[in-house]
Amino acid sequence: MATHSLFLLPGDGIGTEIMLEVEKLIKWTNSEQLTDFSTDAGLAGGSAYDKYQVAITDEDTEKAKAADAVIFGAVGGPKWDDVPYEHRPEAALLRLRKEMAVFANLRPAICYPALADASSLKRELVEGLDILIVRELTGGVYFGEPKTITDLENGQKRAVDTQVYETYEIDRIARVAFDLARTRNNKVHSADKKNVMKSGVLWDEVVKGVGKDYADVELHHILADNAAMQLVRNPKQFDVMVTDNLFGDILSDVAAMLTGSLGMLPSASLGSPDPATGKRKAFYEPVHGSAPDIAGKGIANPIAMIASVAMALRYSFGMIELATKIENAISAVLSDGLRTGDIAQDNRKTVGTEEMGAAILAKLKA
C-alpha cells in the first residue's frame, strides 16, 4: 500500500483536544494496515505565535503544501486578542488556504437520525437532512485588496474591505458544485447578492453559464439573505448550495445547527488537480472554532474532527469503504445514546471528548 503523508496542525483550544482522538484513530487504522499514513505535526495559530511570534512559520507552511493532506484542528482565542493583526491566530488558516490554493470548501450538513431532536428546529424539518454547502474559499472579501483602516483628517477612521471575484474563480467553484450535485440529487442553489453587489451579478452570470454544461442538473438562483431564512424554514429543499467565501462562512454555521451542533460539521478544502499527477492539495478541518468557552475541560465534541478525517479518506485517498465505516461508527454511537454536552437532549448523561473518541474507535474495532 502506498504511504500517504498527513500533516497535523492541532492549533489552539479544543483543536488540540480533538486532534488527540484523530491520532488514536490513525494509529489504529495503521496498525490494522487499513492505512499506511506517515504523520508529522506543526504549530498553527496562537500556539505558533507564543513560540515563534507568527501565526504559522514558513517551515510549517511548506510542510503543509508538501503533505498529501493537512488535518487541521482550530485556532484562536481571547489570549491572542491583542497580538498584531497580521499575526492573529486566524491568519494561519487564511495563509494556508491561500498558499495551498484550496478554493473548494465542501461543508456537508447531515442530520444523523439519532440527533433529529438535538437540533433547535423541529424534528420533521431536519430528519433525513443531507445538504452540501460548497463555499468558495480563496477569494472574495477575505482576500480582496485594498483591506485597510486609515485615519481621516476629521479624527475619524475609515475601514475598507474589498470583495473581488474574477470569472475563473466563479467558474471553477461552480463546476465543483455541479459535479458534486451529479453524485447526489442533481440540484444546485447558487446564493449571492446580485441585487446589491456587482460581484453577485458576475457570480450569477458565470454560474448560469457553467450550468449550460450541466443540463441534467437543476439550477436555482437564490439571494443569500433568503437562503439563510430558507435554511431554517425548510432546509430539506436544498441539495447542493454554492456560494462565495463570506456567505458560505455564515450559511454553513446556520446549517450546522440543523444537524444538532457546530461540533458535528466536518469540511474538506480542495485545490485543482495537478496537471502532471492528478493529485489535489487538500485541507481537512471541522467547521467550528477553538471554542474558548469550553477549552481545557475535555468536553468538546470530536465528531466534526473525526468526520473530517473520513472526508480525507474519501476525497484524498479514495478509501471510500473506510470513510463510510467511520461515518457509520459515528452514527452507531449516537444511536446508542452517547452524547457530548453540545448534542445532549433532556437531562441525559453526557460523555467527554476522550470517551466519545474511544466509543467511535470501539465501533470500528467491533
Sequence ranges of the binding site for NAD(+): 77-90, 289-301
CB of 14 to ligand NAD, least distance (A): 6
Which one is catalytic: 161, 204, 253, 325?
253
Q: Which is nearer to ligand NAD, 136 or 342 (CB)?
A: 342
Q: Is 225 a known active-site residue?
A: yes
Which one is catalytic: 193, 214, 284, 315?
193
Question: How many Å from the N-terminal Cα to the C-terminal Cα in the chain?
Answer: 24
104 has which bridge partners?
136, 270
Closest CA to 13 of 299, 355, 310: 299
CB of 256 to Mn ion, least distance (A): 9
**Contact positions toward ligand IPM, by CB under 6 A?**
90, 93-94, 249, 287, 289
**Contact positions toward Mn ion, by CB under 5 A?**
249
Q: Which is nearer to Mn ion, 311 or 326 (CB)?
A: 311
**Contact positions toward ligand NAD, by CB under 6 A?**
11, 14, 74-77, 90, 93, 262-263, 285, 288-294, 300-301, 304, 342
Q: Which does 170 bind (CB under 5 to 8 A by kind): ligand NAD, Mn ion, ligand IPM, none?
A: none
Closest CA to 269 of 147, 96, 126, 140: 96
CB of 252 to ligand NAD, least distance (A): 10
Q: Is 236 a known active-site residue?
A: no
Q: Which is nearer to ligand IPM, 17 or 244 (CB)?
A: 244
Q: Which does 300 bind (CB under 5 to 8 A by kind): ligand IPM, ligand NAD, Mn ion, none?
A: ligand NAD
CB of 262 to Mn ion, least distance (A): 9
Q: Which is nearer to ligand IPM, 202 or 254 (CB)?
A: 254
Which one is catalytic: 249, 281, 315, 342?
249
CB of 76 to ligand IPM, least distance (A): 6
Q: Which does 166 bind (CB under 5 to 8 A by kind): ligand IPM, Mn ion, ligand NAD, none?
A: none
Q: How far apart are CA 161 and CA 142, in angstroms?
A: 8
Residues 6+ apart with CB under 8 A from 49: 55, 80, 83, 87, 89
Q: Is 63 a known active-site residue?
A: no
For the beta carbon of residue 10, count every other beta carbon within 10 angstroms. Answer: 26
Residues comprising the binding site?
Answer: 77-90, 97, 107, 135, 225, 249, 253, 289-301
Q: How far apart are CA 234 and CA 27, in angstroms?
A: 41
* Chain position carrying cell 482565542: 77
Q: Is 130 a known active-site residue?
A: no
Phi, psi of 14 (to 5 degrees): -65, -15
Three-state DSSP class for residue 119:
coil
CB of 137 to Mn ion, least distance (A): 11
Helices (H) and strands (E) in the chain, counts: 12, 12
Q: Measured at CB, which residue is nearest to ligand IPM?
A: 90
**Residue-wise burial string across 25-41, b where 16 or more C-beta atoms lie within 10 A, e elsewhere:** bbeebeeeebbebebee
Q: Which is nearer to ligand IPM, 227 or 361 (CB)?
A: 227
3-class DSSP string for 309-366? HHHHHHHCCCCHHHHHHHHHHHHHHHHCCCCCHHHCCCCCCCCCHHHHHHHHHHHHHC
Q: Is 193 a known active-site residue?
A: yes
Q: How far apart are CA 303 and CA 330, in angstroms?
A: 7
Q: Which is nearer to Mn ion, 311 or 338 (CB)?
A: 311
- Report, as residue numbers or ranges, the catalytic residues: 142, 193, 225, 249, 253
